[in-house]
A and B are shown apart, each in its own frame.
Chain A
Amino acid sequence: MRLEWICLGALGLLALGTIAVPALARRDPLAIGDVLSLRLMPPFATDVRGEFHLLGTDRFGRDLFVRMMLAGRLSLAVGVVGSVLAAAVGTIVGAVAAWRGGTVDALSMAVADALLAIPRLVLLLVCAALWQPGLTTVVVVLIATGWMGVARLVRGEVLGVRAQPYVDAATALGARPWRVLLRHALPNALGPAIVATTLGVGNAILLESGLSFLGLGIQPPQPSWGNMIAGGRDLIVAAPWVAIAPGLALIATVLACTLLGDSLRDRLAGESGATLRDRA
């Protein structure tokens, strides 16, 4: 319980920081100023203009802390939007497959299996490389490679719920099939999908940063944690803080999302265990 609140608090603080810090910054985090006198200053340094740099500066003399927060905006948004939309697509596909059955079911599950047979990173790379790199591409690709797991989960759950007496009751009362699906079957089948989505946020953030690290995701000068780490790659000996700092932010975020998802799953497992006992 306490851990959940710590994770939520940390994520909230981070979200607040990503909105407030770049907005309050005195200088544009994308603009390049006096490179020679400002570049690669270590953390806690004060520059010639008397400005303080909490995490130092990068090779173009831009403040790393402000850039890291600006990058966090993108990384968090991409992670949340990417995994939520992927889950939504998966839910629709899974529910329709289970509800309609027959060819629709067989076809959509075959496609899901085929896509699951390609390691997600490989699939992600193929898709990302095919379209113009950028924000939209990353989100679309995360959706395209992330819906299959949820689709399988929801399909299984809906198939289970479908055999419940209350579904027969609703049908007998004259409800149309899609109304039964939306009002009665789906809400009872969503639990595992919600947990999978929460756990997926951290994963999506990691994948986005990975793509950006390889140069196939968010493109500079727009900062993302992945391309900031890539930017510090050849400076790892001369100025290690450039690559280390965004990595720590990334780890903290993914950690918070994973722990949150884990505890949500434990709680839901306890609940569904109870309902199963009640039914028996």
Chain B
Amino acid sequence: MLLLWLVVTITFLLVRLAPGDPAQLLVPPTASAADAARLRGELGLDRPIAVQYARWMGDVLRGNLGESFATRRPVGRVLREALPVSLWLGGGALLLTFLIGVPVGILQAARRGRAVDRALTVAATLVYAAPSYWLALALVAVFTYGAATWGLPAALRLPAFGMRSPGIELHGGAFLADIARHSVLPLTILAAIGAAGVARYARTSVADVLAQEWVRTARAKGSSPRRVYLRHVLANILPAMVVLFALSFPGVVAGSIFVESVFAWPGMGRLMVTAISARDYPVVLGATVWYAALVIFANLAADLALPLLDPRRGG
């Protein structure tokens, strides 16, 4: 809670001490200086910074994040509309990340030093070094332009922009199928980058577990490899993976900023980028507070989940 207060205060100071006058950006270029001054008064920007801070803090405590300068809509509602989009992208990507990354890591550890391991390490390092927006553009080039030029089947010509097909109203299954089709490229990119990182962690942790005596014992008493990996190895890396899951959640949500802006998805990331260029302070502040709350909440969840998964840590 103290941490959240510090975050809120720091962001407030950062935003308010910066040069640039939001009122100047909000009035049309033809408006007079008096109009700008009136707007400043309406938005409370002419008060001393301490008064602005006290007012904002009081509002935050009551769950009121203020009103967007640009659209005059409550920030809370604007964020609530954008959050599901980011959660769908970020949460979906994170799930895929672990469903792909952990098995890949186990495979690498089991075949350590062999060709499969080396090839996967090279691939993961390459993906990890690539910026997500560049990968996004490359995939767009392949699946729109490329798919059309090389005569690939229509199923592979994936939509590259937006979350839904424009202009048509769809309902029920068709609506979901449309969103799923639009999700393929963004989710692939986020999941690939995430899986590259998770596989690296999983490979190291599995290699550590495989070197333990109890694994040798399990093998000696004749357990099948399948049982060794599922019962002994997976159970022992699970706590580490759960912590990693919780800790990487906010990062993935934030990481979708680039993907959202390349693919034009109306999520928190895109909202934040637009708000920043418009100097829409309340939205920027609100989004930052939400992101920070997400991080703190994820940390807490990891702390709480750990004793449940690993009886040795007491619980």
Contact partner of A236 (CB less than 8 A), chosen from B131, B145, B291, B296, is B145
Proximity string of chain A (110-136) to chain B, C-beta cutoff 8 Å, 1 when within and 0 when not? 110111011101110111111110000
| Contact A247 B141, beta carbon cutoff 8 Å | no
Q: What number of B residues sit within 8 Å (CB to CB) of A?
A: 47
Kindly state whether residue A210 has any CB partner on chain B within 8 Å. yes
- Distance to closest chain A CB from B25 (angstroms): 12
Kindly state whether residue A254 has any CB partner on chain B within 8 Å. yes
Kindly state whether residue B65 has any CB partner on chain A within 8 Å. no
Give complex CA distance A42, B287 in Å.
42
Give complex CA distance A213, B132 in Å.
11
One of A9-17, A156-164, A237-245 at the interface: A237-245
| Contact A129 B276, beta carbon cutoff 8 Å | yes
- Which residue, A119, A215, A237, A243, has most C-beta atoms of chain B within 10 A? A119
| Contact A247 B130, beta carbon cutoff 8 Å | yes
Closest to A110 in B: B6
| Contact B129 A126, beta carbon cutoff 8 Å | no
Kindly state whether residue A233 has any CB partner on chain B within 8 Å. yes
| Contact A113 B255, beta carbon cutoff 8 Å | no
| Contact B125 A258, beta carbon cutoff 8 Å | yes
Contact partner of B131 (CB less than 8 A), chosen from A131, A206, A237, A255, is A206
Give complex CA distance A210, B253 in Å.
16
Residues of A within 8 A of B125 (CB): 255, 258-259
Kindly state whether residue A66 has any CB partner on chain B within 8 Å. no
| Contact B292 A247, beta carbon cutoff 8 Å | no
User: Known contacts A113-B3, A114-B6, A258-B125: does B141 contact A240 (CB below 8 Å)?
Assistant: yes
Contact partner of B291 (CB less than 8 A), chosen from A110, A119, A130, is A119
Chain B interface, DSSP helix/strand/loop, else mixed: helix
Proximity string of chain A (199-225) to chain B, C-beta cutoff 8 Å, 1 when within and 0 when not? 000100010011001111000000000
Kindly state whether residue B134 has any CB partner on chain A within 8 Å. yes
- Distance to closest chain B CB from A43 (angstroms): 15
Closest to A216 in B: B276
**How many pairs, one residue from A and one from B, have CB atoms within 8 Å of each other in the complex?**
125
- Distance to closest chain A CB from B239 (angstroms): 22
Kindly state whether residue B126 has any CB partner on chain A within 8 Å. yes
Contact partner of A122 (CB less than 8 A), chosen from B134, B145, B287, is B287
| Contact A125 B6, beta carbon cutoff 8 Å | no
Closest to B257 in A: A121
Closest to A209 in B: B131
Residues from 78 to 119 in B contacting A, C-beta threshold 8 Å: none
- Distance to closest chain A CB from B183 (angstroms): 20
- Distance to closest chain B CB from A150 (angstroms): 19
Contact partner of A117 (CB less than 8 A), chosen from B3, B18, B129, is B3
- Distance to closest chain A CB from B123 (angstroms): 12
Closest to B139 in A: A236
| Contact B145 A237, beta carbon cutoff 8 Å | yes
- Distance to closest chain A CB from B309 (angstroms): 24
Kindly state whether residue A251 has any CB partner on chain B within 8 Å. yes
Residues of B within 8 A of A115 (CB): 10
Interface residues of B (CB under 8 A from A): 2-4, 6-7, 10-11, 14-15, 18-20, 125-126, 128-131, 133-134, 137-138, 140-141, 144-145, 250-251, 253-255, 257-258, 261-262, 272-273, 276-277, 279, 284, 287-288, 291-292, 295-296
Interface residues of A (CB under 8 A from B): 110-111, 113-115, 117-119, 121-123, 125-132, 202, 206, 209-210, 213-216, 226, 229, 232-233, 236-237, 240, 243-244, 247, 250-251, 254-255, 258-259
Given contacts A129-B279, A214-B261, 13 further A-B contacts (CB under 8 A): A114-B3, A115-B10, A118-B295, A119-B253, A121-B255, A206-B129, A206-B131, A209-B131, A210-B131, A233-B262, A240-B141, A243-B134, A244-B141
Identify the 6 closest CB pairs spanning chains A and B, nearest first.
A130-B18, A119-B254, A129-B276, A114-B6, A247-B134, A254-B129
Would you mind naming 20 contact pairs between A and B with Cβ atoms under 8 Å apart? A111-B6, A114-B6, A118-B291, A118-B292, A125-B276, A129-B277, A131-B18, A202-B129, A213-B131, A229-B131, A229-B134, A236-B145, A237-B145, A240-B145, A247-B131, A247-B138, A250-B134, A251-B130, A251-B134, A258-B125
